[in-house]
Structure 1
């Protein structure tokens, strides 16, 4: 919000990218600096390796509702 430069907002962005260079993130940050008036205070990156099937398991349980 350019009208309120002292207000710090949180922006969460999630996308598939290739570590360790993160080309999609760099394109987004370049766009932000080039096109938007709000300044970036901090950028934090979370990385979770290769996306695959989750570790699910079957549980032997019966539940009766009503």
Structure 2
């Protein structure tokens, strides 16, 4: 099965984060990075892992982070269907 579908069935939802940052050599220029992955709300472990990596490895200071999260599939949306559909 598709990894993304399995994650959604386990409760993951699509998370998008707008990360505003500035490079240390250009502190007056605010830049934007958009990060997107499947994550668990409200704790967002994948996002926190990415931000920890950012702080350790990237020479840019974080200014702000905005997060949007949407569950695309929930367990209640799946139901068993009996029958055959014929396509011509």
TM (normalized to structure 1)?
0.70
Decide which of 1, 16, 30 is 1:8's aligned counterpart: 30
The structure with the largest helix share of the pair is: 2
Counterpart CA distance in 1 for 2:51 and 2:28 is 21
Moved over 4 A (4+): none
Count of aligned pairs between the two proteins:
51
Please say if 1:42 is aligned against 2:64. Answer: yes
The structure with the largest strand share of the pair is: 2
Q: CA deviation at 1:35?
A: 0.8
Gaps of 5+ in 2: 1-22, 74-88
Cα offsets for 1:7-46 (capped at 9, x unmatched)? 1001111000011111000000000011111111100110
RMSD: 1.1
TM (normalized to structure 2)?
0.54
Gaps of 5+ in 1: 53-66
